[in-house]
Amino acid sequence: MSTATLTPTQLSANLGRGEHFQLIDVRSPQEYAEGHVPGAMNLPMDQAEARLEDLQHHDPIVLICQSGRRAGMTCELLKAHHKDLIILEGGTKAWIEAELPVVKTASTRLPLMRQVQIGAGGMILTGTLLSIFLHPGWIGLAIFAGAGLFVAGTTGFCGMAVLLEKMPWNRARS
């Protein structure tokens, strides 16, 4: 049995005719804040099974992600719990390309996890290149950053994120 899909223009037309859907955006909170379909609720893919109680059972559910891939994966996770699942073809990207309205709630700040990725990736790249071209001891920088990423991934605590949160560019604007 294949999963139903709707194009952005079909979904918009159906909503315009008063049809009811529960719109679920399965992207991260930051992606959701950067622009989402009006009326969509944010339920990140990694929380889907833990938040089954948030799903309505009287309206079809339209799963939305950036391009459609995560919506399809979430559909697989939820199909045992809900019978009427629909995937928005092309996701939010296609919705925006169709020039349909988008709700934006994000600031222009670079998301904290992207800052961590840039910082850790930069440390690993720098340490590796310096160890190749200058002195083998620089590999310690790459090892340090890699170990930090490993600890963050296994414990949920990221020291670099804690430090970056305190930086002036991540503080509230007055």
**Catalytic residue of the set 23, 62, 65, 71:** 65
Q: Nearest CA to 45 among 69, 21, 22, 61? A: 69
φ, ψ at 149 (rounded to 5°): -65, -40
b/e 55-65 (16+ beta carbons within 10 angstroms → b)? beeeebbbbbb
Told to judge if 65 belongs to the known catalytic residues of this protein, a careful annotator would answer yes
Q: How far is CA 30 from CA 49, 109, 114, in A?
A: 20, 10, 10
Q: Which residue has the tokens 């008063």?
A: 18
Q: Which residue has the tokens 């719109």?
A: 23
Would you name the residues annotated as active-site residues?
65
